[in-house]
Amino acid sequence: MFSAALTPLDAELAPDHARFVAHCRYLLDEGCDGIALLGTTGEANSFSATERTALLEAVVAAGIAPQRLLPGTGVTALNETIALTRHALSVGVDTVVMLPPFYYKGVSDDGIFASYSEVVQRIGDARLKIVLYHIPQMSAQPISHALIERLRAAYPATFTGIKDSSGDFANMTAMVERFPGFSVLVGADPLLLPLLRKGGAGCITATSNLVARDLAYVYKHFGDSDDDAALKAAQARIVRARELVSRFPQMASLKALVAARTSHAGWQRLRPPLESLPTAQVKELLADATAFAAAI
C-alpha cells in the first residue's frame, strides 16, 4: 500500500524538503508500505528535473529506505525520462512509476512501445523495474492491454506492474485476469478492497495522505468476512474521505486538510496553474471534515 504523497511548497513555491520528509515519515508511521512521490498528486509535472532529483535525494539522505520509494520519472521528453530514471537508480531506488509520453495525441501503441523500449535499452540496468501509469483522463494516452502484453514479452523482468487511476474497475480486473504475476495497483481509494479480492496487488492513492491507517487495515484484512465490523468501518471511512476531498479540487482539498492537521498554513500552497482553495471553501471543507471525524 503506497501513498501518492503530496508535495509541500515553501514561500517561493519550491518543494519544501524538510516538510516533505516529515510527511513521508508520518505516512510510513500510519501504515504505508512506501511512498509514491512525484506523481499527479505530488504536482510532479509542475516541477523541473532539477527540483525532482533534489527532492528524491533529500528523502534518501534523510534515511528513508530507497526500497520504500516509487518516484515518478515519466515525462514528455525521452532523454529527460532516461535521466530521471537513471538518477533514481543511482540513489538506490529500483522501481519507478512511468507515465507514457503524453503531449502528442493520437500516438499509436507502436510509438509508445518504442518510447518505453528506448528507455529500457539506453539505461541497460537489470535492476530497473517499471510500474506503468494509466491515467487517461489526465494524460490522454491510455495504456492498452496489447501494449502491456508486448512490453512484458520484450522485457519480462522490467515491466512489473501498472497503476490504474482511470477509475474503470472492469479494466483493472481484466488486467488481473490477463496478466498473472503483474501487479495491478488501483489509484482510486474505495476500489482497493474490491480489487484486492479480485487478485489485485494494492494501491497508490491520494486519500492515503489522510486515511493511510484505514487503507493499511483494508490491505491487511481484505480477506476477512464482510461481517467484520472493523473492516467495514475502515472501508466506510475511506469512501467518505474520498468523497470529502472530491467536492472541491482534490489536491487543493488534500493540502487544506493536511494544513489543518499539521497547523502549518504553508501546506495549502500549490504551484500555478493549480490554485489553493478560496477561504470560503476551506472553511466549508474543514466543517465537513470535523463532522466526518465526529461521526467515526
Taking the alpha carbons of 206, 208, 214, 219 in that order, is the dihedral positive or negative?
A: positive
Pick the catalytic residue from 116, 133, 155, 217: 133
Rounded to the nearest angstrom, the gap between the alpha carbon of residue 79 and the centroid of all alpha carbons in its chain is 23
Pick the catalytic residue from 40, 95, 158, 173: 40
Encode burial over 104-143: b for 16+ CB neighbours within 10 A, e otherwise.
Answer: eeebebeebbebbeebbeebeeeebbbbbbbbbeebebbb
| Known catalytic residue at 219 | no
d(CA 91, CA 242): 33
d(CA 122, CA 144): 24
Pick the catalytic residue from 95, 158, 163, 205: 163
| Known catalytic residue at 163 | yes
Task: Decide: 94 and 68 in contact? Cβ < 8 Å.
Answer: no
d(CA 64, CA 25): 8
| Known catalytic residue at 283 | no
| Known catalytic residue at 103 | yes
Helix (H) or strand (E) holding 231, with range, is helix 229-246
Q: Which amino acid is at 248?
A: F
For the annotated catalytic residues, the residue numbers are 40, 103, 133, 163
